[in-house]
Structure 1
């Protein structure tokens, strides 16, 4: 019998809760639609049923205030405080009720009562501060949070304080709060980077960047910790000051050998951004100090890449020196692959490269590494114009890794090789699949090549210049830039007025930039604009012109002109965010 009564009571309670929940949903809907009178009826009933539910109370008070029933709200709050004087956060609500009536003196009286109550009831302190923040009483919110932390040193409201200072535009205090937060608990480091990073730019002279750096330097003097070097390094990387970031990482390394990994990461970033001196210094440190052979040989290979990129005269000697010291074996496997890349695309001896790669396949059992070597072998054969041999290697990898990134890369290479050999139908079939690839970079490349073929495919046996364009593309792939430029010239002359003309002009402009013939590139871009101001290349053209004027031709006024065209004429461009940021920087805005 008892079990039946319990079950019956539980059922009644469940039905009651369900009914309350439905009423609350309806009340919230009225509230969102500013139908406050209707909402009042429901919130009042809900509050009467559950007088300890602060959500119902606060919603009901807000509805009274929105309908200017301030006396009713005051009476309800006063009665609640009389019943439960420990609910001191209600002083904030009562104070705001007076502020809505422009009774500022009365409002301030209750706001101060709320602040003073924190001394006795510190556990309500964060709620009081939160209410002040919701009512945009930011200075009082700061005072409340600080009082809680004064009473309880273990409390940490650094994030809340930093956000409030940010809302006030007091960025100096905001950064100080973030730094204090990390000082108390280093576990907040990544969150601080994420939130503080929203206010920082890549400009070392930006006021916010300077304020953040000052906050870090002050703290590093008053309370030295490794974490300040870490944050300074992070800031310098954002500002692309990789040499300064390295100084901070060296300081960390001197205190802890485990920080070598950060130097390795910095080296990769510096290499990617073409700061070859800093990258080389990073990799030299890895080679000297690491205990892990893999890291050592990765650093050796990266230094070789730098030597190739900077056209050092002794590159071949360096490769031979490494093979002499460490042998041609599994240890130097990736160096062998890098050597084959050099032999093909720099030295123009692809036959020798193919021999190196075939031999390298013997030094690994990893199917992934074998696949990457096969892709490189395929590249070498495509470079030689032996497309069918290249396709064999690409297809092997594609079949083995259908749903993997490396399989998608192989499929793109199949499409590209087919395009080079003028098998446009098969190329399009592969590219159509890849356009939906999970890998954004491959998807973008696939979409670009698909459009090139689709827009210029021969129709009704009429030559459209696509075969010649594919030939120029192959020559560019082979780093035979002068020959590629010559063929593109023929296309521009022979197919004037056809859709391939702007493609050829754009491709040729890219090759001119590669050869540092910037004036010729600008001329080509101008021709594309003259052809069609609404063409598919127009935002690419504006952005590339702006970048050339900004970075290579030292003409900031012209750079601003083309960034501005993207901002005002092409608001849906993928370059919009970067164009706006760079335009404002050139204009001298406080970003």
Structure 2
């Protein structure tokens, strides 16, 4: 008995293996365009497994491709006599349409759609069959009829996809919105789909369509999802003030979490829309009850104000810091604000002694090693500012030893290398940078690689390292916020070392400093010199991207920016700027799709 069972099992397994192999052959023949062989294989498969409708429909498809319309018609009519299947009706109609028999084609399409009267659930299969043959108008009728007959079904996702294929963007948006109204878990999916049809241009007709639909929804419904969608749309358009208005409306209705508002503020800050960012962070300060959130928002406001301030504004910023300390004290809770204030004192008010005293006091707190490390990093930076490199190295080394393999430790090692580079110890700096090339922090790894290449390229070319020593001095002056002095040192490199490898680097560094002091034409001249005279430089993509950005933001020359982005994409597809350049190029070109 056991032997018989085993024999049956083996025979069954063998049969399955043969069937799977035949199926593989059939698909291979079909994909290679060998339709006669595919037809024979699928007929064999179908004869062995009548219940597998896929084989049946594949036979019909091949017969149509071979223009054996009579064979297909006979096969479909026989199948319809066995069972009333609406997909068969669509296939039969399509078979007539291929023969240019529109009357019979329409007859069977109508019959297929009519099956919904008795069973609206047929809509998915019928609609899909129409879509398979690109009969989109019939598919639309099918899905709409099903929803009219049965309110619990929702085919708006299918309709949206079809409208998108037809270029009916407004109808597509309406269908997506109607779908997500009943299926809120799909909100992010809908956003992704919609984002392919809108741009950063607020006047783009697709943006206008979507905005109109969403505004109507906010008027008809109290559901905050529509405000969230509007906020999302405004963010895509970089219309952050309008996004802020929507987020305020959401918060005032919910009165729970400021998480969305914080996310918006960080996005706006990252996009360098500083005035709008300050407004949003101030709203957070005024409305949060959490001290930690309030202090973090204060810190953001002060950092942004410092970034955009002129020297005449420094006294006001100093007053704000001290007002906060009067309110909350100088305690471990305000550590990040104290570190920020120390940086402001040292780098902007030129009061390094007060900054160092403040930071040394924070080291007395009972803090985690990572918190202490942040204070020590700033201490080291201020000592570098004073050119007390050896003292700075003590603090950086402590961090590296106490927090081995952490991001902070890697940051400290990079600063050790940078301090050594500033004081002219290029060999030691290069040895540290070699280790950091594989840093887990991508930013640190990139910075380390850039500095290593600068040092190694120039050490190889100039054994006395005269130009490199000058460049390191200019780099230090820039770190010390002595930008005018740094520009003069870079000028001397450009005059005295005309043929050396450091020239493109000096031009790029100087251009960035010109940009800082808003001398945009001088910055442009430097970028153009790199582009025109140093076509083999590894900094060419930097120059192209930076000049494109400058052209858009300060020189009102979008046409030139578009050409520069295009050149970067065409000649430097592996550049770290390629992704951003592609997006910005397409936006300037006026593409509908992102």
Same fold? TM cut 0.5: yes
Q: Which residue of 2 aligns with 1:158?
A: 156
Partner Cα separation in structure 1 for residue 58 and residue 431 of structure 2: 59
Q: Deviations over 1:269-317 (max 9, x none)?
A: 2222333332222222222221222111101111211331232331111
1:381 to 380, 383, 393: 383
Partner Cα separation in structure 2 for residue 468 and residue 374 of structure 1: 28
Q: Which residue of 1 aligns with 2:206?
A: 208
TM-score by length of 1: 0.92
2:532 to 527, 530, 533: 530
2:521 to 504, 519, 532: 519
Q: How does 1:102-501 map to 2 (within 5 A)?
A: 102-311=100-309, 312=313, 313-459=315-461, 461-463=463-465, 465-501=467-503
Partner Cα separation in structure 2 for residue 158 and residue 41 of structure 1: 40
Deviation at residue 484 of structure 1 after TM alignment: 1.1
Q: Deviations over 1:232-254 (max 9, x none)?
A: 11111121111111111111111
Deviation at residue 184 of structure 1 after TM alignment: 1.4
Whether contact under 8 Å (1:542, 1:563) holds in the other structure is yes
Partner Cα separation in structure 2 for residue 132 and residue 351 of structure 1: 78
Q: How does 1:540-551 map to 2 (within 5 A)?
A: 540-551=542-553
Partner Cα separation in structure 1 for residue 37 and residue 368 of structure 2: 70
Deviation at residue 521 of structure 1 after TM alignment: 0.9
Q: Which moved more, 1:407-416 or 1:280-289?
A: 407-416
Moved beyond 6 Å, runs of 4+: none
Whether contact under 8 Å (1:61, 1:73) holds in the other structure is yes
Q: Which residue of 1 aligns with 2:56?
A: 57
Whether contact under 8 Å (2:530, 2:540) holds in the other structure is yes
Structure 2: runs of 5 or more not aligned: none
Q: Which moved more, 1:286-295 or 1:172-181?
A: 286-295
Q: Which residue of 2 aligns with 1:22?
A: 21
Whether contact under 8 Å (1:458, 1:466) holds in the other structure is no
Deviation at residue 579 of structure 1 after TM alignment: 4.5
Whether contact under 8 Å (1:509, 1:524) holds in the other structure is yes
Structure 1: runs of 5 or more not aligned: none
Whether contact under 8 Å (2:127, 2:138) holds in the other structure is yes
Deviation at residue 125 of structure 1 after TM alignment: 1.7
SS of alignment partner, residue 34 of structure 1: coil
Q: Which moved more, 1:313-322 or 1:9-18?
A: 9-18
Q: Which residue of 2 aligns with 1:66?
A: 65
TM-score by length of 2: 0.91
Deviation at residue 422 of structure 1 after TM alignment: 3.2
Deviation at residue 525 of structure 1 after TM alignment: 1.8
Whether contact under 8 Å (2:338, 2:359) holds in the other structure is yes
Q: Does 1:83 find its partner at 2:85?
A: no
**CA distance 1:489–1:126, shift in 2 (3 Å):** same
**CA distance 1:395–1:81, shift in 2 (3 Å):** farther
Identify the structure with bigger relative contact order (alpha carbons < 8 Å, sequence gap 6+): 2
Whether contact under 8 Å (1:304, 1:315) holds in the other structure is yes
Q: Deviations over 1:356-414 (max 9, x none)?
A: 22322343533332333333333333333233433343344444545543344334333
Whether contact under 8 Å (2:197, 2:592) holds in the other structure is no
Whether contact under 8 Å (2:200, 2:587) holds in the other structure is no
Deviation at residue 553 of structure 1 after TM alignment: 2.1
Q: Which moved more, 1:360-369 or 1:284-293?
A: 360-369
Whether contact under 8 Å (1:89, 1:124) holds in the other structure is no
Whether contact under 8 Å (1:509, 1:522) holds in the other structure is yes
Q: Which moved more, 1:549-558 or 1:236-245?
A: 549-558
Partner Cα separation in structure 2 for residue 140 and residue 242 of structure 1: 42
SS of alignment partner, residue 331 of structure 1: helix
Q: Deviations over 1:410-465 (max 9, x none)?
A: 34333333333333344334434444445433333233223222322244724361
**CA distance 1:463–1:7, shift in 2 (3 Å):** same
**CA distance 1:401–1:192, shift in 2 (3 Å):** farther
Whether contact under 8 Å (1:456, 1:464) holds in the other structure is no
SS of alignment partner, residue 363 of structure 1: coil
Partner Cα separation in structure 2 for residue 284 and residue 153 of structure 1: 47
Q: Which moved more, 1:160-169 or 1:100-109?
A: 100-109
Partner Cα separation in structure 1 for residue 425 and residue 70 of structure 2: 82
Q: Which moved more, 1:67-76 or 1:172-181?
A: 67-76
CA RMSD, 1 decimal: 2.6
**CA distance 1:18–1:511, shift in 2 (3 Å):** same
Partner Cα separation in structure 2 for residue 116 and residue 383 of structure 1: 82
Partner Cα separation in structure 1 for residue 263 and residue 133 of structure 2: 45
Deviation at residue 170 of structure 1 after TM alignment: 0.9
